[in-house]
């Protein structure tokens, strides 16, 4: 009886402690080691202010909607007064659903974010391992494939953007697509659609990439076995239609937003090939290779020298048919050649518009074809993320090399498998601790119970520090009110206008702009770096009744500095990056400001007019094409001189999500005696009119300056002659009461 019990126990142990369980546990352990020091404090630590906090907010918002009101999912309370901004937002629905039990049990959004990261990394590694097993790799080779695919340098760099580490779902879709081509089972077709639907729930970005991946594989099969491939692909029609129908609530809103705001990006530059051989400065195995890389664009994409050596060895063995594989969906020489081709294609696509090798441009890149002919790629900002999928095929070839090596020496294969991810191991360059639980500033808990229409926090971040708006996003999880702030891929023009007003707080024009947009509450953080003039202006606004103080709260909001790990792996001292001596809540009650009327008249243009500016191409302002824009940084202004005196009734600047102008702006006219005189300036009335237009038509509006004067030229000028402000203007429309 005892021996029977022992045998049953041993059988259960083998079943539940098999290779799959051991591999999963090892991937969980690797997550801990690859995310040090963030993994040492998962309850209050993320990578850095910016994308990490944005992911934390998105995941926590999804979790809250899942447990309280799912209908609110598409309307996160950021970017007030806009509604339904999920279409402008990296939604991260699936990571949010994954984190929901953790956030519900702990009431800790940071812990939920780190749990979602853990699941994403383990999922990707496990998906790579399963695909490796399906292609006949040994257990050691398949484990190595998953380890490299799930924990390579760029994958860990993208942890801050949680949705982007869930590309293992596309890998699982690829696995079932290969099974569909081999067996023709309907369950495999539905599995492909299921995993691509889940991929869309995780990230619209990766859904686009995954569709291209499956499209390339399908085209390859069509080229080799056209009749069989067509028969198999027809089985995908119904599942794909079902997945599209389920995804339409998200994709449809994104499509509508693209039309409303006219969203598109210029052809992105991509990356230098050098980054494929660049490590982070904290890499334990190699140290820093090549120049320091960035945290977003221009990040390290280290392939790994061990990975390249094993991949070449695996390719050689497959070509010579000297490697014996297990049961496989495809012959080794076929899929190895295909993996090599896919790795090269995705590597070239990652280079973006032009193929750049150590700062030398070799010529246009194939990414231009995707940008021009494939819908959706005109919205992609970073082509370099193609290396996420490139590393899948590098990992498969490296796993093939480990498998071939295991036929000669099991110990050598095991050592090679361990070295594959080990050469990518590095301490995270930056980590950021966040207040959680009782550490959250008391003002946010107090605000939760107060009637607030919309909230703005000051001092606010300028347009170049938009990623720091994620701090306000994070703290809005605790007070639960609508906020002006928000970090999205495409900021609506009204959001940019309100951000500028928050930066200019408490000027009369900023108060009028905020109030017209429905902002009624201001939270002031009394930081030591604020000049005395700011506090004086706030007190004056309170004295004249424009602001009403509701209370001061101590301690104020404090955000610790990023804990930067030096290359020698000794932590630098942690200093306070943001400290508030106290937080004051103000009610906004400025006097009513009338909106300035838009000027009347008809636009006039003449090719004989002379356009000039200290930077950029000012002629684009008069070409009648809103798709072109004059762009300059630090310029004092732009001017156009007429060939004769023109009776001008005003000027119009079309406003879109791309438009930028200096904080102070004047319209000047050139008189007959050669003097430039001021005809108008940007004031509260013009801004209020702009707010009213954008609240009615969020996609665009017209900033107008009305006057009546006969002038020989028009100039847009900023009084700040040494300003570093950015100019981006599509057109400068000059109006006249009549044309000849």
Q: Are residues 367 and 454 both part of a single domain?
A: no
**Last residue of some domain: 528, 563, 588?**
588
CA distance readout (Å), 181 to 130, 198, 222? 17, 21, 10
CA distance 276 to 270: 13
Q: Report the 10 Å Cβ neighbour count for 217.
A: 17
Q: Report the 10 Å Cβ neighbour count for 739.
A: 10
- 434 occurs within a structural domain: no
Q: Are residues 321 and 360 both part of a single domain?
A: yes
Q: Which CATH number fits the domain that encloses residue 632? A: 2.60.120.260
Which residues lie below 8 Å from residue 496, measured CB to CB, with a gap of 6+?
463, 657, 659, 660
> Using H for helix, E for strand and C for coil, what is the string for 656-694?
CCCCECCCCCEEEEECCCCCEEEEEECCHHHHHHHHHHH
Look up residue 283 and give its DSSP letter. B
Contact status, residue 630 vs residue 616, Cβ threshold 8 Å? yes
Contact status, residue 487 vs residue 469, Cβ threshold 8 Å? yes
**Kind and range of the H or E element at 211?**
helix 204-224
**Angle 410-422/387-406 helices, nearest 10 degrees?**
160
Q: Are residues 546 and 578 both part of a single domain?
A: yes
| Cα first-last separation, the chain | 109
CA distance 150 to 162: 13
Q: What's the confidence (pLDDT) of residue 570?
A: 46
Q: Locate tokens 């791309």: which residue?
A: 658
Q: What's the confidence (pLDDT) of residue 8?
A: 62
Q: DSSP E strands: which ranges in 345-404?
A: 354-357, 360-364
Q: What's the confidence (pLDDT) of residue 58?
A: 94
Which residues lie below 8 Å from residue 531, measured CB to CB, with a gap of 6+?
none
Q: What is the mean pLDDT of each run of 10 residues along the chain (740 residues)?
A: 56 63 94 94 91 94 92 91 85 94 95 97 97 95 97 95 95 97 94 96 92 95 90 94 92 84 80 92 89 82 96 93 86 93 95 90 90 84 92 97 90 94 93 92 94 94 82 95 90 91 93 95 92 93 94 90 58 66 93 91 92 91 89 86 93 92 91 92 94 93 93 90 78 82
- 214 occurs within a structural domain: yes
Q: Are residues 520 and 387 both part of a single domain?
A: no
Q: Are residues 536 and 659 both part of a single domain?
A: no
**What tokens does 697 get?**
């038509």
Which residues lie below 8 Å from residue 529, measured CB to CB, with a gap of 6+?
none
**Kind and range of the H or E element at 703?**
strand 701-717
Look up residue 490 and give its DSSP letter. S
**What tokens does 101 get?**
């039990």
Q: Answer positive or negative: Cα dihedral of 365, 370, 372, 377.
A: negative
Contact status, residue 399 vs residue 142, Cβ threshold 8 Å? yes
Q: What's the confidence (pLDDT) of residue 566?
A: 47
**Last residue of some domain: 533, 559, 588?**
588
- 391 occurs within a structural domain: yes
Q: Which domain holds residue 495?
A: 440-588
Report the domain count for the chain: 3
CA distance readout (Å), 131 to 124, 258, 369? 11, 36, 29
- 14 occurs within a structural domain: no
CA distance readout (Å), 6 to 10, 13, 17, 21, 151? 6, 10, 16, 21, 38
Contact status, residue 383 vs residue 270, Cβ threshold 8 Å? yes
Q: Locate tokens 């040494």: which residue?
A: 722
**Kind and range of the H or E element at 611?**
strand 610-613
């Amino acid at each position: 009886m005892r021996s029977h019990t022992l045998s049953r126990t041993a059988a259960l142990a083998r079943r539940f402690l098999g290779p799959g369980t051991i591999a999963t546990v090892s991937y969980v352990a690797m997550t801990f080691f690859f995310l040090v020091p963030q993994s040492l404090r998962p309850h209050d630590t993320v990578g850095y202010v910016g994308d990490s906090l944005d992911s934390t907010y998105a995941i926590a918002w999804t979790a809250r909607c899942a447990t309280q009101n799912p209908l609110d999912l598409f309307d996160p309370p950021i970017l007030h007064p806009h509604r339904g901004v999920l279409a402008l937002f990296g939604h991260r629905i699936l990571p949010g659903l994954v984190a929901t039990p953790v956030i519900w049990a702990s009431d800790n959004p940071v812990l939920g974010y780190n749990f979602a990261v853990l699941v994403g990394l383990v999922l990707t590694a496990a998906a790579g391992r399963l695909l490796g097993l399906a292609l006949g790799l040994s257990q050691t080779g398949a484990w190595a494939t998953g380890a490299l695919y799930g924990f390579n340098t760029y994958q860990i760099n993208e942890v801050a953007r949680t949705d982007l580490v869930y590309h293992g779902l596309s890998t699982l879709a690829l696995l079932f697509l290969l099974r569909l081509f081999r067996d023709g089972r309907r369950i495999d077709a539905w599995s492909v659609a299921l995993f691509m639907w889940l991929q869309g729930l995780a990230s619209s970005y990766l859904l686009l990439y995954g569709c291209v991946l499956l499209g390339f594989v399908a085209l390859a099969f069509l080229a080799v076995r056209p009749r069989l491939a067509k028969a198999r692909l027809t089985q995908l029609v119904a599942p794909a239609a079902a997945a599209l129908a389920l995804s339409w609530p998200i994709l449809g809103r994104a499509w509508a937003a693209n039309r409303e705001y006219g969203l598109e990006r210029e052809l992105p530059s991509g990356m230098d090939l050098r980054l494929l051989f660049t490590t982070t400065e904290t890499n334990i195995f190699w140290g820093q290779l090549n120049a320091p890389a960035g945290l977003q664009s221009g990040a390290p994409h280290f392939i790994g020298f061990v990975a390249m050596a094993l991949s070449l060895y695996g390719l050689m063995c497959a070509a010579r048919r000297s490697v014996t594989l297990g049961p496989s969906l495809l012959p080794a020489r076929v899929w190895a050649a295909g993996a090599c081709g896919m790795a090269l294609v995705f590597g070239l696509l990652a280079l973006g518009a032009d193929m750049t090798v150590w700062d030398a441009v070799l010529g246009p890149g194939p990414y231009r074809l995707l940008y021009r002919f494939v819908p959706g790629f005109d919205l992609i900002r970073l082509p370099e993320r193609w290396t996420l999928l490139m590393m899948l095929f590098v990992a498969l070839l490296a796993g093939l090399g480990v498998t071939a090596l295991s036929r000669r020496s099991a110990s050598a294969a095991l050592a090679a498998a361990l070295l594959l991810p080990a050469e990518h191991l590095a301490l995270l360059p930056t980590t950021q601790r966040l207040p959680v639980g009782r550490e959250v500033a008391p003002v946010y808990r107090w605000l939760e119970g107060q009637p607030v229409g919309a909230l703005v926090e000051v001092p606010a971040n300028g347009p170049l520090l938009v990623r720091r708006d994620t701090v306000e996003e994070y703290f809005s999880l605790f007070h639960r009110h609508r906020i002006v702030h928000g970090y999205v891929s495409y900021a609506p023009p009204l959001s940019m206008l309100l951000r500028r007003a928050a930066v200019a707080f408490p000027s009369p024009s900023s108060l009028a702009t905020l109030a017209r947009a429905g902002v009624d509450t201001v939270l002031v953080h009394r930081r030591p770096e604020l000049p005395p003039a700011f506090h004086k202006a706030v007190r004056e606004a309170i004295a004249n009744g424009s602001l009403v103080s509701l209370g001061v709260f101590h301690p104020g909001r404090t955000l610790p500095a990023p804990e930067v790990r030096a290359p020698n792996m000794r932590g630098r001292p942690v200093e306070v990056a943001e400290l508030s001596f106290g937080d004051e809540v103000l009610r906004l009650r400025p006097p009513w400001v009338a909106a300035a009327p838009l000027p009347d008249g008809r636009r006039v243009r003449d090719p004989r007019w002379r356009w000039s500016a200290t930077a950029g191409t000012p002629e684009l302002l008069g070409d009648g094409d809103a798709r072109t824009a004059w762009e300059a940084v630090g310029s004092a202004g732009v001017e156009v001189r007429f060939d004769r005196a023109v009776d001008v009734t005003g000027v119009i600047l079309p406003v879109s999500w791309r438009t930028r102008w200096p904080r102070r702006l004047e319209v000047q006219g050139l008189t007959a005696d050669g003097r430039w005189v001021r005809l108008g300036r940007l004031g509260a009335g013009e801004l209020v009119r702009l707010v009213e237009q954008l609240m009615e038509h969020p996609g665009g509006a017209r900033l107008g300056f009305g006057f009546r004067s006969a002038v020989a030229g028009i100039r847009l000028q900023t009084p700040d002659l040494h300003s570093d402000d950015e100019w981006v203007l599509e057109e400068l429309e000059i109006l006249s009461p009549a044309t000849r």
